[in-house]
Structure 1
Amino acid sequence: MIRFLVDTGAWYALADRRDPDHEDVALCLHERAGRLLTTNFVFDESVTLIRYRLGSGAARAFGERLLSGGAARMVAVTRRDETRAWEIFTRYRDKSFSYTDCTSFAVMQRLGIETAVAIDDDFRSFGLACLP
């Protein structure tokens, strides 16, 4: 079964109905239900971003949905993933990868996931496929 890792930008677009990518992301996630993963680092980044931009109620609703397992399976970033993420972060100095993105790259490598649901171009820059 092909699995997909969902990044912060996609979660935010899903949470914000006014976001220009909302409809595309919502459809993309719906079509891949049951095959979606995200990480605890992406969860942290997403719930914080949603709280700052949309308020604590929206962040709480998003967090509860994700933590219940209803939207995606949460994968914990391991110590080995963090070591790999740091290697990526320090190697690609010409890129603007966040450390959280680097942990996602490491998890994707570990789990053999080739496609992310992501809005920004960082995953493509790292050589991964992106949806929507």
Structure 2
Amino acid sequence: MGEAFFSGTLTQIYYLTQADIQVIWQNFRQFADKQWSFTDCSSKTILEKLNCKEAFAFDHHFRQFGSVTVVPIL
């Protein structure tokens, strides 16, 4: 599984840029009332940047993003 993951045959790995990190930090500060972690804000920022409309997640914060449909639906 690890070989397939890191070779790019299973998925695409996205590496954060310095510009991404700056936007993530802005989101982290802007949405402080949501109690989102920096990782949550990273997910939100990159999902939106890549125009992803669905996310597979069990973290309830993903449902607060408002920009993606979370699967599985609980």
When normalised by structure 1's length, the TM-score is 0.48
Q: What SS class does the counterpart of residue 101 from structure 1 fall into?
A: helix
Whichever structure has more helix as a proportion of its residues is: 1
Amino acid at match of 2:60: D
Q: State how many pairs are aligned.
A: 71
Larger relative contact order (C-alpha < 8 A, sep ≥ 6)? 1
Whichever structure has more strand as a proportion of its residues is: 1
For residues 63-121 of structure 1, give each alpha carbon's deviation from its aligned partner in whole angstroms, at most 9, with x where no partner exists: 43421223311111121211111111111112221212211211122121121111111
Equivalent residue, structure 2, for 1:47:
none
Given the alignment of the two structures, is residue 126 of structure 1 paired with residue 61 of structure 2, yes or no? no
Greater CA radius of gyration, 1 or 2? 1
Given the alignment of the two structures, is residue 70 of structure 1 paired with residue 9 of structure 2, yes or no? yes
1:88 corresponds to which of 7, 11, 27: 27
63-72 or 92-101, which deviates more? 63-72
**Cα RMSD after superposing both structures:** 1.6
Given the alignment of the two structures, is residue 116 of structure 1 paired with residue 55 of structure 2, yes or no? yes
User: Pairwise mapping of residues 1-132 of structure 1 onto structure 2 (< 5 A)?
Assistant: 63-127=2-66, 128-132=68-72
When normalised by structure 2's length, the TM-score is 0.78
